[in-house]
Chain A
Amino acid sequence: MSTLKSIVRRILSAIPVLIGVVLIIYLILHILPGNAILTMMGEHAREEVVQQLSADLGLDKPWYVQFWMYVSGLFTGNMGTSIKYHKPVSELIATYFPVTIKLSVLAALVAWAVGIVCGVVSAMRKDKLADRIGMGFSLLGVSVPVFMTAMVLQYLLAYKLKWFPIQGTKEGFVCYILPAIALGWSSAGSVARLTRSTLLEVMESDYIDTARAKGRSVPGAVVFHALRNAMIPVVTVMAIQISSLLSGAVITETIFSLPGIGRLCVDAISGRDVPLLQGSVIFATALVIAGNLVADCLYSVLDPRIRKEG
């Protein structure tokens, strides 16, 4: 099967998944108790007003009617109107999305830089002290809760040393560094482990011996041959990273007060803003699906064996 064909097939197979995502999130949310109107207007609001507004927004209709309205809206790119913000959900997502993307990309870079360095060091100094330190460092990142890392970094580097702003996005790029480190470190562990184990495997294979025979030094061989091949499974881990980075973004965005999709979800949940919550969760999930597709495609391009297997 050609690469193009397999890519098309993968894209097609994502469609039922996306439909399932919309259906599941809708079902979960329709049994959600609580009234968005109350939260929106505050506790000084009066009862009649609350009822009137619920009716105006169609919240008193049966769930399947609302579901049909929602799905037909999705086809035209209409994700509904946020109850809390009185704005189209798509517009809100468009405003908040870039922050999350910047944070996630930077965090992925951190995860990769830390993970690959630790993995390579560990593999090259297998069972030596450097191996222990490298793996220990990346494992620690996985084990310490993200919020703790974030709070400690905020305290030490932003408050004590004043190297970074404490929160917000007003000062541009620098604002993303601490959140990205906190988020990235927690994902570095799996990259490091995988780099180490695949690297070990590759280093024992025949063509490294060939490289040695060609007169290249071992570290050179590691970088040019082993690492390239070791990267193939690491690419697939990228797909998992997107999902866990988005999960972690919820927490880092909360601690560093970044206006991203994660904050939007937390906001939408505490405000019972069902259209907004639906929209942002579906959007985040669609991102994961898209990320997986890209990773899968890359995988089949990078690894000719997969292509053959189809």
Chain B
Amino acid sequence: MALFRSKQDVFSEDLASQIGESQTLGVQLRRMARRNKLAVASAVFLALLTLAAIFVPILSPYDPVIGDASIRLKPPSAAHWLGTDEMGRDVLTRLLYGARISLAVGVVPTLISMILGVALGVVAGYVGGMTDYILMRLADVMLAFPSLLLAMVIMYTLGGGVLNIFLALALVGWASVARVARSETISLKESEYVQAAKSIGVSGGRIIRRHILPNCLPALIVLFTLNIPSAILSESSLSFLGAGVQLPNSSWGLMVNMGRQFLYNAPWISLAPSAAIMLVVLACNFLGDGLRDALDPHLNNE
């Protein structure tokens, strides 16, 4: 038994054994779309936000960096829907440009930690023995650190900046993924069809590629959606403490940080990015829950 438990363990313990092999992913997703309106709305919201972030140079007449200091801290108006910030820039425009970094910070490090975690977890689970022991103790070590503290220490070592955030959050996040991947692998390894494949001499690499990875996929998709919000929140915390994205770049966390002293006289500067963080985190959670329900036959049967 592992020394540390993570949130993922708690749900994967039942998830691992319950994912059916009978239904394809597509069928499951379509069923989710039919049943869970909240998850669908969340997916639509996230898609729209992504599009807006991509096309903001066309959508907005304002520059994200160059402002007009003579109109700083103006409340929302027809010209500036979410007001102007401390440099006289349009908050909505900044918010959408900031979405590029914040969404990237949600997705990229999560993806890196997924790849790293799945690779190490599957190897540990499949090979077992000493490899398993060492990898899992390493995961224990990483999980023991309070994540924000570790990320802060890494950020201060590497210096601020978006790429370093990707790296820091990926380094902090892989261990819990490795845990899930390992336990999935172990349970699948014992399954009849893997045993059968082994007995007819199929190579380990092929078994992992053809049987284990595809069967881990649903659990990993759920994990992925649920890890994105925590990456976004971590980035905002780091930026809030001044250890994250650095000027003149902008992320939502940094916008809140720069706007915090105006919370009492120009609240829109910090409330708008805070609300954006909250909505994206909520949407990812709803979507994750929806996916989990759809991919988990046990709950569907209720």
Contacts and interface: CB of A to CB of B under 8 A. Distances in A.
Interface of A: 10, 13-14, 16-17, 20-21, 24-25, 28-29, 31-33, 139-140, 142-148, 151, 155, 190, 194, 233, 236-237, 239-240, 243-244, 246-248, 250-251, 254, 265-266, 269, 277, 281, 284-285, 288-289, 292-293, 296
Contact of B282 (A139, A292, A293): A139
Counting from the closest, the 5 A-B pairs by CB-CB distance are A247-B148, A20-B141, A246-B146, A143-B281, A247-B146
Contacts of A140: 278, 282
Nearest to A9: B1
A240 B6 contact: yes
A269 B151 CA distance: 12
A190 B146 contact: no
A31 B278 CA distance: 35
Contacts of A29: 153, 157
Contact of B156 (A21, A24, A32, A145): A32
A17 B144 contact: yes
Given A247-B146, A250-B148, A24 B141 contact: yes
A212 to B, nearest CB: 20
23 contacts: A13-B3, A16-B137, A17-B140, A20-B138, A31-B157, A33-B159, A142-B281, A143-B277, A143-B282, A143-B285, A145-B274, A148-B274, A243-B143, A243-B144, A243-B146, A250-B146, A251-B148, A265-B149, A266-B152, A285-B146, A288-B144, A289-B3, A292-B4
B233 A145 contact: yes
Given A21-B141, A145-B256, A190-B7, A284 B149 contact: yes
Interface residues of B, number: 44
Contacts of B243: 269
Contacts of B146: 243-244, 246-247, 250, 284-285, 288
B28 interface: no
Interface of B: 3-7, 10, 137-138, 140-150, 152-154, 156-157, 159, 229, 233, 236-237, 240-241, 243, 253, 256, 260, 263-264, 270, 274, 277-278, 281-282, 285
Given A28-B154, A148-B256, A155-B264, A251 B281 contact: no
Dominant secondary structure of chain A at its interface with chain B:
helix
Nearest to A147: B240
Contact of A28 (B7, B157, B270): B157
Contacts of A239: 4-5
Given A151-B263, A251-B240, A288 B145 contact: yes
A143 B229 contact: yes
A14 B3 contact: yes
Contacts of A247: 146-149, 237
Contacts of B240: 145, 147, 251
Contacts of A142: 229, 281, 285
A148 B148 CA distance: 17
Contacts of B159: 33
A21 B107 CA distance: 27
Of listed A139, A145, A265, residue having the most chain B CB within 10 A: A145
Contacts, number: 137
Nearest to A281: B149
Contacts of A24: 141-142
Contacts of B154: 28
Of listed B7, B10, B263, B270, residue having the most chain A CB within 10 A: B10
Given A251-B241, A285-B145, A288-B144, 8 more contacts: A29-B157, A139-B282, A144-B277, A145-B277, A148-B270, A239-B4, A250-B148, A285-B144
A190 B229 CA distance: 14
A6 to B, nearest CB: 9
A289 B137 CA distance: 13
Contacts of B253: 145
B17 to A, nearest CB: 14
Contacts of A20: 137-138, 140-141
A28 B152 CA distance: 11
A21 B101 CA distance: 31
Contact of B237 (A31, A155, A251): A251
Contacts of A10: 3
Nearest to A280: B149
Contacts of A143: 229, 277-278, 281-282, 285
A248 B141 contact: no
A153 to B, nearest CB: 12
A28 B154 CA distance: 7
A148 B282 CA distance: 15
A139 B240 CA distance: 22
A145 B240 CA distance: 10
A10 B264 CA distance: 50
